[in-house]
Structure 1
Amino acid sequence: MRNKKVIVGFSGGADSAAAALILKNKGYEVLGVTFDFFGDEPLLKKASALAKKIGIRHECIKRQLEFREKVIKPFISEYLRGYTPNPCVRCDAVMKFRGLMAYANEKEAEFIATGHYLRLEKRHGQVQIKTSADSRKDQSYYLYTLDQEYLSRLIFPLSAFQSKDAVRAFLEKEGIALPKSEESQGICFIPDGNYARFIKKETPLMPEGRFRDRFGKILGSHNGFYHYTVGQKRGVPAISGKKYVVTALRPEINEVILGEESDLYQKKIFLKELHFIDGSLYSGEIQFKVCRWGYLYQGTLHLSGDHRGYLECEEAVRAPMPGQSAVFYDRDTLLGGGIIEYK
């Protein structure tokens, strides 16, 4: 091995600790890096103390302003356009992996590593991402924007582990005991999951808007379209005894369109910013998900130029939300993806 220096994304949790320790045990020179997105001093101290216990060098890099400009502000902007953006995809692409690569270049490290439960496999000269054996830990959905430049230098040390319990058992065997904590399943900068309250704090007061059906009939009023997303039932009023679901948003006039559950199902999904990990732009039969834990659908991808296209789905998909990602697979291989858009 020409260069055994590796930069590890080090959050101070069990996964990143195990990743760093595995690489150290294999003889790599390990440097753990914690990106400070929020000025969370207790988290930074925890990560620093754990790195010392493992016996690796550690650095914290302040990125609060950049995180706000590149992740939080685009999230707000898209939300106010009636989209339901996925900031985790954007964060992984423009903050975490780009940051690790830049730091690796600065420190003349050949490799970068993270605590994802994924596998890498080289085939036909291309590095492929394989999904996790434990579907609960599979995060491949968020990594479809990576390309060969990143994958050729990336290591996933936890590829051999089947579960979080196995990782904890490994750490305990190595003398590293960490308290169990609940894993975050939502957006890191909205820890309570209340997107509407977050948007309301960040934007001017919005006037009262209208609920309408798809024919234009007024069904009632609401206090801002950003309280709703396509497919939502909770918080939607029953009118004249009839239950409704959100089928569309019209942010430019602050209106929420209500309809029936059957109105949500679509067999054609339009996409922008298409990207394939191998650098190609593929069209034809493909498998895809519209959320991390979602069902693996079958469909056909058609290209329409300018990295846009559309999916023709074999079975109708419930509420594919503009702003979310449709991510492509070939069984257990991540292929790429694109962002769902209005049409």
Structure 2
Amino acid sequence: MGKDVNRRLTDLKSRRRGSSSTVVMDSITANTRLISEKFETRSSGQWTKYALGIMQEVDPTYTKISVAEGERVKNQITNRIATDVQFEYQGSVPLNVHIRGVSDIDILVLLRRYLTIDLQGARANTSDYSSWVGPSGIAQLASLRSELESALKAAYPVADVDITKDKAIALSGGSLSRSVDVVPSHWHDSSAYQISKNKKDREVKIYQKNTGDTFLNRPFLHIDKINQKEARTRGGVKKIIRMLKNLKADSDSPTAILVNSYEIAGLVYHFEDAPISVPGYNELALVAVAKQQLTRLIDNKISTMELMTPDGIRKIIDSEEKFKSISLLRDEVSELGRNLATELTSRYWIDDLETLKALRESYIAE
């Protein structure tokens, strides 16, 4: 934790509000920059401001701009390609755990007239589905990917349209005020979806350009699982996810912490519910809780290495290096907790037990 608190606050504000180097800036966003956020007014303590700030959602004004850019791209695609498609958002923005005001947004571009099904599902052999006669799903996705590459280059001639990535076409710069990832895919109706007809149970198969294959994903189940835990924990789960993502961004070596945003969310999903259910005035206690829960994962390595992502797709920690990253994250949380407790108690030095006590008993008016 090399940066001092003033540098951290400056970087946090830059992340949350967009850097001054943003090429295109909505006038509302520019004005919002000049206004202090609520977390900045709840305390005079600098470490307290920082700790509160790294837990809060990005101002909805900025999120709306990200979604608006997504809608722009969707309209361009609809008007420029022949294939019949539909769209869905995935990732941190729809889940509301993004930490950047100028946050990129992921768009699934789904074939409308083609899907696959779980053949063991309850409705697999009913009139709900009919046999497909036509090009394979892979062939259609390969064609869709080619169409999208050409269409997006034509639509955004000044922007950087990166077509080299395996799963997504990445758009940035030019007239775009946000980066946008465009992901060719098709629906897969799982056994669960065939019964529930609930979107959270519907899966997608995402095209991989480099291998000419697809892989299964459950983006809506991931969102639903985190949202359910959010409701059970009085908003604690998303605050901790944002906290850990910000601490990774502010660490001396962010690239050394190998768990990504999806994996951080997965780890926090496996935190115990009761300790992270705290009232708003006691938010600083979540720093102590995060340290304790990360320590629990570290002390139980075998079971931690078996933990699955909330959507059940894969193991969260699939290497020794990622397991070590949990300790690096815990170190960041521990140092934050000590700085907070020192500030709260007006002491020069404080041990771990006193730190936990100070954070648990903290009160910051909402």
Q: Which structure is higher in helix share?
A: 2
TM tier, smaller: under 0.3
Q: Which structure is higher in strand share?
A: 1
TM-score w.r.t. structure 1 length?
0.27
TM-score w.r.t. structure 2 length?
0.25
